A and B are shown apart, each in its own frame.
Chain A
Amino acid sequence: MKIRTFGYTLKQGFSNIFRNKWFSLASIATISACLFLFGIFYAIVANFQNIVKTAEEGVSVTVYFDEGISDERIAEIGEMIEKRVEVSKVVYVSAEEAWEGFKTEYLGEYADGFTENPLANSMNYQIYLNDVSMQSALVTYLESVEGIRQINKSEVTATMLTGINALIGYISIGIIAILLAVSIFLISNTVTIGISVRKEEINIMKYIGATDFFVRSPFVIEGIIIGLIGAVIPLGAIYLLYHQVIEFVVGRYAMLSQLLNFLPIETIFKVLTPVSVIVGVGIGFLGSITTVRKHLHV
Chain B
Amino acid sequence: MNIKYLEVNEVRSSNRNKKMTTPVSENEIITLENVSKAYSTGAPALNGVTLHINRGEFVFIVGDSGSGKSTLIKLLLRELTPTEGNIRVMGYDLNKLRHRKIPKFRRNLGIVFQDFRLLKDRNVYENVAFAQRIIETPTKEMKKNVPSILATVGLAGKYKAKPKQLSGGEQQRVALARALVNKPSILLADEPTGNLDPKNSWEIMKLLEEINEAGTTVLVVTHNREIVNAMQKRVVTMKKGVIVSDEEKGGYIDDED
Q: Which residues of A contact B (CB under 8 A)?
A: 2, 4-5, 8, 19, 200-201, 203-212, 214, 297-298
User: Can you list 9 contacts pairing A with B, beta carbon distance less than 8 Å?
Assistant: A4-B138, A205-B134, A208-B107, A209-B109, A209-B131, A210-B103, A210-B134, A211-B103, A211-B134
Q: Is the CB of B119 within 8 A of A212?
A: no
Complex Cα spacing A211 to B136, Å: 12
**Total inter-chain residue pairs, C-beta < 8 Å:** 53
- Which residues does chain B contribute within 8 Å of A207, judged by CB atoms? 77, 79, 106, 111, 117
- B202 on interface, CB distance cutoff 8 Å: no
Chain B hits for A297, CB < 8 A: 99
- Whether the pair A212, B134 counts as a contact (CB closer than 8 A) is no
Q: CA of A234 to CA of B78 in the docked complex: distance in angstroms? A: 47
Query: Which residues of chain A are near B99, meaning CB under 8 Å?
Result: 297
A214-B135 Cα distance, complex, nearest whole Å: 10
Supposing A209-B106, A298-B79 touch, asked if A204 and B136 sit within 8 A by C-beta, the answer is: no
In the complex, what distance in Å separates the CA atom of A207 from the CA atom of B184? Answer: 13
A8 to B134, CA, bound (A): 11
Determine if A209 and B121 form an interchain contact, defined as CB atoms under 8 angstroms apart.
no
Encode contact with A along B98-133: 1 for CB under 8 Å, 0 otherwise: 011001111101010000011111000000001101
Contact of B119 with A206 in the complex, beta carbons under 8 Å: no
A200 to B120, CA, bound (A): 10
Known contacts: A19-B121, A201-B119, A298-B79. The answer to whether A208 contacts B106 by CB under 8 A is: yes
Q: How far is the CA of A200 from the CA of B118 in the complex (A)?
A: 10
Give the residues in chain A near B120, CB-CB below 8 Å: 201
Decide: B117 and A209 in contact? CB cutoff 8 A.
Answer: no
Given A19-B121, A201-B119; A209-B136 close (CB under 8 Å): no
CB pair B107–A209 under 8 Å, yes or no, is yes
Query: Does B37 count as interface, using CB distance less than 8 angstroms?
Result: no
Is B178 touching A208 in the complex (CB atoms < 8 A)?
Answer: yes
Q: How large is the interface on B (under 10, 10 to 19, 20 to 34, 35 or more residues)?
A: 20 to 34
Q: A211-B103, A298-B79 are in contact. Are A5 and B133 (CB under 8 A)?
A: yes
Most buried by A among B77, B130, B139, B182: B130
Instruction: For the complex formed, measure the closest distance between the CB of A4 and the CB atoms of chain B, giving whole angstroms.
Output: 6
Collect the chain B residues with CB atoms within 8 Å of residue A8's CB: 133
A207 to chain B: closest residue by CB? B111
A19-B121, A201-B119, A298-B79 known; A208+B131 contact, CB < 8 A: yes
Given contacts A201-B119, A204-B119, contact A209 B135 (CB under 8 A): yes
CB-nearest residue of chain B relative to A7? Answer: B139
CA distance A210 to B132 in the complex (A): 10
What are the residues of chain B within 8 A of A298 when measuring CB–CB? 79
> Knowing A205-B130, A209-B103 touch, does A4 contact B136 (C-beta < 8 A)?
yes
Query: Which residue of chain B is the closest to A203 with respect to CB atoms?
Result: B117
A-B pairs, top 5 by smallest CB distance, nearest first, are A209-B106, A209-B107, A211-B103, A19-B121, A209-B103
Determine the residue in chain A with the shortest Cβ distance to B138.
A4
* B120-178 contacts to A (CB < 8 Å): 120-121, 130-131, 133-136, 138-139, 178
A2 to chain B: closest residue by CB: B136
Question: 10 additional contacts, CB 8 Å, given A206-B103, A207-B77, A211-B100?
Answer: A4-B136, A8-B133, A201-B119, A204-B118, A205-B130, A206-B106, A208-B111, A208-B134, A297-B99, A298-B79
Instruction: Give A201 to B120 CA distance when docked, in angstroms.
Output: 8
CA distance A149 to B130 in the complex (A): 89
Q: Which residues of B have CB within 8 Å of A2?
A: 136
Tell me whether A4 and B130 are in contact in the complex, defined as CB-CB below 8 angstroms, given that A207-B77, A207-B106, A298-B79 are known contacts.
no
Q: How far is the CB of A77 from chain B (nearest CB, A)?
A: 75
Q: How far is the CA of A212 from the CA of B103 in the complex (A)?
A: 8
**Residue pair A212, B135 in contact (C-beta under 8 Å):** no
Instruction: Report the bound CA distance from A131 to B178 in whole Å.
Output: 72
A210 to chain B, nearest CB (A): 5
Q: A212 to B107, Cβ gap below 8 A?
A: no
A206 vs B138: C-alpha distance when bound (angstroms): 21
